[in-house]
Amino acid sequence: MKLSTTKESRRDFLKLSAGGLTTLGLNGMNFAQASSFYTSEITWMPDWQLVSAMSTKRISPVEVIEYFLQRIERLDKDIHAYITVDWEGH
């Protein structure tokens, strides 16, 4: 029996994780519940999960950017983490 290499196990893990994320989808949730789930969790999602969610069209890149810009606007007045934010994207 051949043992899988680290690279293969990592790939399998990512596939299974993305599959698990997909099964979360809208199962048993209406759109408003799903939206609040994703917006509350999006802050802590690893980038590969965000990519997976965008590639399956569960969330759009525009929604991701708008979410983080709103978060910056809401929190930065207290934590002063940004010197300049380019709101128009220039």
Per-domain residue ranges of the chain? 6-79
Mean pLDDT estimate for the chain: 73
Q: In the chain, what is the greatest distance between 2 CA atoms, to the nearest angstrom?
A: 58
Give the whole-angstrom CA distance, residue 7 versus residue 9.
6
pLDDT of residue 42: 87
Helix (H) or strand (E) holding 49: helix 47-55
- For residue 44, name the pLDDT band (cuts at 50, 70, 90): confident
Check: CB of residue 26 under 8 Å from CB of residue 34.
yes
Instruction: State pTM to two decimals.
Output: 0.53
pLDDT of residue 37: 54
- As a whole number, mean pLDDT of residues 36-49 equals 75
Contact 82, 72 (CB under 8 A): yes
